[in-house]
């Protein structure tokens, strides 16, 4: 069982996420909107706590790979910068 965070842009400077659990029955958690990608990731990491070592991530439907949940909690800004650096909207 591995969690999946699906991040969506819901405005020019607003993001939301949904957490689902891969390999388990449908259990999902929806977030509200956050004013930055950093805050969105920080909240997602806090939601997962220390229960999972890593999480799979999707951004705007694009699979990003695995990320340590500890990185989301301790360095959400760095993770957000990497996503912004490598993701170019079409």
**Domain parsing of the chain, residue ranges:** 2-86
Q: Is 35 helix (H, G, I), strand (E, B) or coil?
A: coil
Chain segment 22-60, per-residue pLDDT in tens? 655 545 556 779 999 999 999 999 999 888 999 999 999
Contact (CB, 8 A) for 5 and 66: no
pLDDT at residue 26, rounded to an integer? 47
> Which is more confidently placed, 16 or 87?
16
| Residue in 65, 18, 88, 68 with CA at minimum distance from that of residue 7 | 18
Answer whether residue 76 shows pLDDT above 70: yes
Is pLDDT of 21 > 90?
no
Q: How many angstroms separate the Cα of 20 from the Cα of each of 8, 43, 62, 88? A: 14, 15, 16, 25
């Amino acid at each position: 069982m591995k969690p999946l965070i699906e991040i969506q842009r819901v405005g020019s400077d607003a993001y939301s996420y949904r957490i689902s659990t891969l390999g388990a029955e449908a259990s999902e958690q929806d977030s509200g909107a956050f004013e930055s990608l950093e805050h969105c990731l920080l909240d997602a990491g806090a939601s997962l706590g220390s229960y999972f070592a890593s999480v799979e991530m999707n951004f705007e439907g694009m699979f990003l790979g695995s990320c340590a949940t500890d990185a989301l909690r301790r360095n959400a800004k760095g993770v957000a910068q990497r996503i912004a650096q490598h993701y170019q909207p079409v």
